[in-house]
Amino acid sequence: MKIDFIVCEDNPKTRKTICDWLGSYIDNMNIRLLAATSQPQEVLDCLANDEDIKICLLDINLNKEINGVALAEKIKNINVNTKIIFITAYAEWAVESLNRNIEPFAYLTKPLDRQTFDWHINRLLKKIKELSDSKKYPEKGQYIKLEAYGRVHYKKIEAITHMETYHKEGYLIVYTLQGEKIIHRRRLSDMLEYLDNLYPNTFLQCYKSIIVNPYQIEMIDKKQGEIILRNGARLFLSRNKEVQEEIERRLVGMVR
């Protein structure tokens, strides 16, 4: 597991202070300072085609063509799971970030305080390590990006109940706990592989056209060939014995 810090702060003195404080966490092998800049585009360039975990510390008032909130929005469009920590002297910017559904990990208010800084950084690194070590279920708050027909949605993994093939080839319907039905452009088999690579032991295939979040299963009815979810939804259950045994094994092995 490799972690990259990226700092975007337009005040040179504050930027240097942040970098100096991050120095105690950097080992240049697993954790490194990838960039320290005042230029939003440099931050975006660092995110392209790189799978290492990114933690971005962003000054909100950058005095550039875009502010830190707009930059965070662009970052999330590149990699929705990038961790954002905002730095600001103005509390009202927190409202703007909430309105844009960015959900930063933390806010650091100026003037910066070393004890508060270390508390947030240690807390975030601990969460990342716990997720990497467990490999059982995604950290609460982890998002995936769903898009089709020019519409983009960011949904938490634990809020998705199941997915099924859409009538149009190469598309899915993604169902959420909130009752949403979101169209996503991807084949079912590709989506299952994608999820399993990102978050092992999350979704599994219960029917040829359906994958389900096992944490949302209330019971299975082999006689009726159904899976009943906690929200009352009923899904087809494969008659294949191996598929049924895998679902049962997963359910028995989970701690609810």
Is pLDDT at 39 greater than 50 in this prediction?
yes
CB atoms near residue 245 (< 10 Å): 10
Is 126 exposed, middle or buried, given 0-12, 13-18 or 19+ CB atoms closer than 10 A? exposed
User: What CATH number did the domain enclosing 189 receive?
Assistant: 2.40.50.1020
Number of structural domains (the chain) is: 2
Write down which residue in 99, 116, 134 finishes a domain: 134
pLDDT, average across residues 24-46: 91
Check the CA dihedral 69-74-1-4 and report its sign.
negative
Question: What percent of the chain clears pLDDT 90, i.e. is strictly above it?
Answer: 47
Whether residue 148 sits in one domain with residue 123: no
Whether residue 26 sits in one domain with residue 130: yes
pLDDT, average across residues 130-152: 71
- Contacts of residue 222, defined as CB under 8 A and 6 or more positions apart, other chains included, come to 237, 244
Range of the domain at 62: 3-134
The answer to whether 60 and 87 are in contact (CB under 8 A) is yes
Is pLDDT at 166 greater than 70 in this prediction?
yes
d(CA 125, CA 17): 20
Whether residue 106 sits in one domain with residue 33: yes
- Contacts of residue 206, defined as CB under 8 A and 6 or more positions apart, other chains included, come to 212, 227, 235, 236, 237, 238, 243, 247
Per-residue pLDDT tens for 207-226? 999 999 998 998 899 889 99
pLDDT mean across residues, the chain: 86
d(CA 55, CA 40): 15
d(CA 43, CA 243): 45
Per-residue pLDDT tens for 82-139? 899 999 887 665 555 555 557 788 889 889 999 999 999 999 998 888 766 654 444 5
Per-residue pLDDT, 238: 93
